A and B are shown apart, each in its own frame.
Chain A
Amino acid sequence: MNCRQVNHLLSAYIDGELPGHDYRAVAKHLANCTDCHSEYHSLVQTKRLLTALRMKQPTGDLASAVIANVHQSGARVKSRQTWSSRGMIFSNMLQAGFLGAGVLFLAGVIYTQSNARQRGISIQWHSSTINNQDRLPDSPLAGQRAFTRVNFPGFGPQQSVSFTFINPVKSSNFASLPSMSQPVTLKPMGSHRTH
Chain B
Amino acid sequence: MDFAKLLVSTNRSDRSEFDTLVHRCHRQAYNVAYRLTGNHADAEDLTQESFLRAFRFFDRYNRDMPFENWLFRIMSRVFIDELRKKPKHRSQSLDQPITTGSGGEAEVQLEIPDFEGDPERIVLRAELDDYLQNALLALPEEFRIAVILADIEGLSYEEIAEAMTCSIGTVRSRLHRGRKLLRSKLGVGS
Q: List chain A positions with a Cβ less than 8 A from chain B.
A: 8, 10-12, 15, 17, 38, 41-59, 62-63, 65-67, 69-71, 73, 75-80, 82, 84, 87-88, 90-91, 94
Contact = CB atoms under 8 A, between A and B. Distances in A.
A70 B156 contact: no
A87 B3 contact: yes
Contacts of B60: 78
Contacts of A67: 19, 22
B40 to A, nearest CB: 7
Interface string B43-79: 1100110011001111110000000000000000000
A87 B11 CA distance: 12
Given A55-B27, A77-B11, A78-B56, 15 more contacts: A10-B176, A11-B179, A12-B172, A41-B189, A43-B179, A44-B115, A49-B186, A55-B28, A56-B43, A58-B26, A66-B51, A67-B22, A70-B18, A70-B52, A77-B58
The 3 closest A-B pairs by CB, nearest first: A42-B189, A91-B3, A84-B10
B124 A52 contact: yes
Interface of B: 1, 3-4, 6-7, 10-11, 14-15, 18-19, 22-23, 26-28, 30-31, 34-35, 40, 43-44, 47-48, 51-52, 55-60, 112-113, 115, 119, 122, 124, 129, 132, 136, 147-148, 150-152, 154, 156-157, 172, 175-176, 179-180, 182-183, 186, 188-190
B48 A66 contact: yes
Contacts of A70: 18, 22, 51-52, 55
* Interface SS of chain A: helix
A46 B124 contact: no
B7 A75 contact: no
Contacts, number: 149
12 contacts: A11-B175, A12-B157, A12-B175, A45-B112, A49-B132, A53-B152, A66-B47, A69-B48, A70-B22, A75-B55, A90-B3, A91-B6
Contacts of B40: 59
A63 B14 CA distance: 17
B51 A54 contact: no
Given A42-B189, A52-B119, A58 B52 contact: no
A31 B190 CA distance: 21
Nearest to B14: A77
